[in-house]
């Protein structure tokens, strides 16, 4: 158990909490850092998982300032491991578990019997809770509560003790009353006028896992099965009607028991399953109005299953300025760390590390928060010598100040990824759960000759609706792409609008306007109204001529007759988008707010040599 934490709340009041936390050593000095799978737990203690017939042994040390205990609700135990205080005729040595004094330790032993396990039919795991029970009400309201999950045999990974088939979340719906906490500071109430009801409830927090309005870490993939463990340890008046908006809940794991909401009664535990519906941000809340208004709600994210697109290192969408490193050797600069990059110097490389050196790193700034789902890596070759990274770890941040080491499902406190085995082949690693961050750092930990990297990050936009609409893949047919004009070369090639497809190959591989003026346009008919969130543009090369559009505006239309120029919010001026600075690189621009329309027109404003364009649109269908 950890020492008291402090959380600031509105009106300048600070409440003190005490929480259960896991340690990695018997001296209780090295705390186990919470990883991505634990991000959603909030105030809850670590998840204790076991299978039926397992024996659970917990070494408990009290680092707080008053006595506490550990009681397992729903499990079997001997009297010496009950962790609950009440008057009986037991001998004193049987009561050592009742209240562990500060800086003292005790070992609790619990038994996961068949009665504690999941019912048939039903989910593979069953939820219970552990908490301190010296004074149960005051201990829980002080923050001492955590989840217990008992599963069928074969459900959990033997080493990580994580479920092998399903993503799961533990959610405690509870009104925390700070007046019932051991740490409530009984200062006089504020002097300004408030009703007696406001004074009575002014120290209550209507929370999910101790968090109001926003619980981080609730992320799942479209069409993924998710296991939800719901807990309610509130008082007799605490009834919570749990509602995952836009989702269908399954009781007992069968389609015969489909539910829109679940009434979670006081003192109850329930495990439900859910198949995540469509990508986007959704709302989790309680249908009890008072609790909902007071903060017992949070957004949760359903991610597109196709969220593994290249994020732009290999194509140039990520600019040189966005790639930095702690150091580099010679001409092997960080800006060169792009997958499949060519040339004599074509990667980031640093000196060999000694055991006393700090680990070097390379960092990518996406300039906004995105979802990272994977990483691809390559080494490099110089003359006849190969250089590559054989192992690395990853850190991420949203502000470049607070960094989190990726842990995933590793049984260690950090995930070490397998790197490359030669200089040229591509090694792909997945991030599960996906990372939400703006900055990502890669730290080489093992290498051949020298640490060297060429990289591509994979993922998508955090708000979803960012998949390619089909220009490059030819899902959008030739007849859907039209233009004001197109050029026919003297040697017989026609630069038709249907060629304006990102990464198109061939001697004639783009749309080129017949004339170079501001009356030219390229138009795409999506056949129905869609949500368009971004555009990527590319130029082309013909013989020795490098042609590309340097800036452009965008118009859109529902019927193809009346056109609306795209403008920023509250602006009366057409937005001019920055285009390309060379013929082969990609430049990505975002529509914020997104365009909701059927037709879209790109109108070049400035260009290099001639108006020439290849592109892709990104977005999604509208439900």
Q: What is the pLDDT of residue 187?
A: 59
- DSSP type of residue 326: S
- The two beta strands, 225-231 and 167-177, are parallel
Q: Are 383 and 449 in contact (CB under 8 A)?
A: no
Place of tokens 């600031």: 8
The reported pLDDT for the residue numbered 456 is 98
343-349 contacts, C-beta under 8 A, 24 or more apart? 344/382, 345/382, 346/380, 346/454, 347/378, 347/379, 347/380, 347/387, 347/452, 347/453, 347/454, 348/323, 348/452, 348/453, 348/454, 349/380, 349/387, 349/450, 349/451, 349/452, 349/453
Assigned token pair, 287: 């249908």
- Token look-up 């790197």 returns 419
C-alpha–C-alpha distance, residues 398 and 402, integer Å: 7
Question: What tens digit of pLDDT does each residue of 540-589 get?
Answer: 998 889 999 999 999 999 999 999 999 987 788 999 999 999 999 999 99
Per-residue pLDDT, 193: 45
Domains of the chain and CATH, by start: 5-303 (2.60.40.420), 309-461 (2.60.120.260), 467-621 (2.60.120.260)
Q: What is the pLDDT of residue 355?
A: 58
Number of neighbouring beta carbons within 10 Å of residue 593 = 10
* H or E element, residue 448: strand 427-448
pLDDT at 254: 66
Q: What is the pLDDT of residue 357?
A: 64
Tokens coding 417: 């990824």
In order, the DSSP letters of 331-343 are T--GGG-BTT--S
Sign of the alpha-carbon torsion through 394, 399, 400, 403:
negative
Residue 384: CB partners within 8 Å, gap ≥ 6? Answer: none
CB count in 10 Å sphere of residue 395: 18
Q: Write out residues in the chain with pLDDT < 50, as ranges.
A: 5-9, 188-197
Residues in the chain: 623
Residue 520 phi/psi, 5-degree rounding, is -90, 150
Beta pairing partners, 163: 156
Tokens of 126: 């069953």
Give the Cα separation of 149 and 118 in Å (integer). Answer: 9
Which parts of 9-104 are beta strand (E)?
14-17, 48-51, 55-61, 71-73, 76-77
Give the 3-state secondary structure of residue 80.
Answer: helix
Give the C-alpha separation, 590 to 603, whole Å.
16
Upstream peptide bond of 238 is cis (omega within 30 degrees of 0): no
């Amino acid at each position: 158990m950890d020492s008291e934490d402090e959380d600031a709340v509105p009106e300048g009041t600070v409440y003190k909490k005490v929480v259960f936390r896991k340690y990695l050593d018997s001296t209780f000095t090295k705390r186990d850092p919470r990883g991505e799978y634990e991000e959603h737990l909030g105030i809850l203690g670590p998840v204790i998982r076991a299978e039926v017939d397992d024996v659970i042994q917990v070494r408990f040390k009290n680092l707080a300032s008053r006595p506490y205990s550990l009681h397992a609700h729903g499990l079997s135990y001997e009297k010496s491991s009950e962790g609950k205080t009440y008057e009986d005729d037991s001998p004193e040595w049987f009561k050592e578990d009742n209240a562990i004094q500060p800086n003292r330790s005790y070992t609790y032993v619990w038994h996961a019997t068949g009665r504690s396990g999941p019912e048939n039919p039903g989910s593979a795991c069953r939820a219970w809770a552990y908490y301190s029970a010296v004074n149960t009400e005051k201990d829980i309201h002080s923050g001492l509560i955590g989840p217990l999950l008992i599963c069928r045999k074969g459900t959990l990974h033997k080493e990580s003790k994580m479920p092998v088939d399903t993503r799961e979340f533990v959610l405690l719906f509870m009104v925390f009353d700070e007046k019932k906490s051991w740490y409530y500071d009984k200062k006089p109430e504020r002097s300004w006028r408030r009703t007696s009801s406001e004074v009575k409830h002014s120290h209550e927090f209507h929370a999910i896992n101790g968090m109001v309005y926003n619980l981080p870490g609730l992320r799942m993939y479209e069409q993924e099965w998710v296991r939800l463990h719901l807990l309610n340890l509130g008082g007799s008046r605490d009834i919570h009607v749990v509602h995952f908006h836009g989702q269908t809940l399954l009781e007992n794991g069968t389609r015969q028991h489909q539910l829109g909401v679940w009434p979670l009664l006081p003192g109850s535990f329930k495990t439900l399953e859910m198949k995540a519906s469509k990508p986007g941000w959704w709302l989790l809340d309680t249908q009890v109005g008072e609790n909902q208004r007071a903060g017992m709600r949070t957004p949760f994210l359903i991610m597109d299953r196709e969220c593994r697109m290249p994020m732009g290192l290999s194509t140039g969408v990520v600019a040189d300025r966005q790639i930095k490193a702690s150091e580099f050797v010679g001409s092997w600069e960080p800006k060169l760390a792009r997958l499949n990059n060519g040339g004599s110097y074509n990667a980031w490389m640093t000196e060999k590390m000694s055991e006393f050196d700090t680990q070097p790193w390379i960092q990518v700034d996406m300039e906004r928060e995105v979802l990272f789902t994977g990483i691809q890596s390559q080494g490099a070759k110089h003359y006849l010598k190969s250089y590559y990274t054989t192992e690395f770890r990853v850190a991420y941040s949203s502000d470049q100040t607070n960094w989190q080491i990726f842990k995933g499902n590793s049984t260690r406190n950090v995930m070490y990824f397998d790197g490359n085995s030669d200089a040229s082949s591509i090694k792909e690693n997945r991030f599960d759960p996906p990372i939400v961050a703006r900055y990502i750092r890669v730290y080489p930990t093992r290498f051949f000759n020298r640490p060297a990297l060429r990289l591509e990050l994979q993922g998508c936009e955090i708000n979803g609706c960012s998949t390619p609409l089909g220009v490059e893949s030819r899902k959008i047919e030739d007849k859907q792409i039209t233009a004001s004009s197109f050029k026919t070369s003297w040697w017989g090639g026609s630069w038709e609008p249907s060629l304006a497809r990102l990464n198109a190959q061939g001697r004639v591989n783009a749309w080129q306007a017949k004339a170079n003026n501001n009356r030219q346009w390229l138009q795409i008919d999506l056949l129905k109204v869609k949500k368009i969130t971004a555009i990527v543009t590319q130029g082309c090369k013909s013989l020795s001529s490098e042609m590309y559009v340097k800036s452009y505006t965008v118009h859109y239309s529902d019927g193809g007759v009346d056109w609306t120029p795209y403008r920023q919010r509250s602006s009366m001026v057409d937005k001019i988008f920055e285009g390309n600075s060379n013929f082969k690189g990609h430049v990505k621009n975002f529509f914020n707010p997104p365009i909701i329309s059927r037709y879209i027109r790109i109108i070049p404003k400035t260009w290099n040599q001639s108006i020439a364009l290849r592109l892709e649109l990104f977005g999604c269908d509208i439900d």
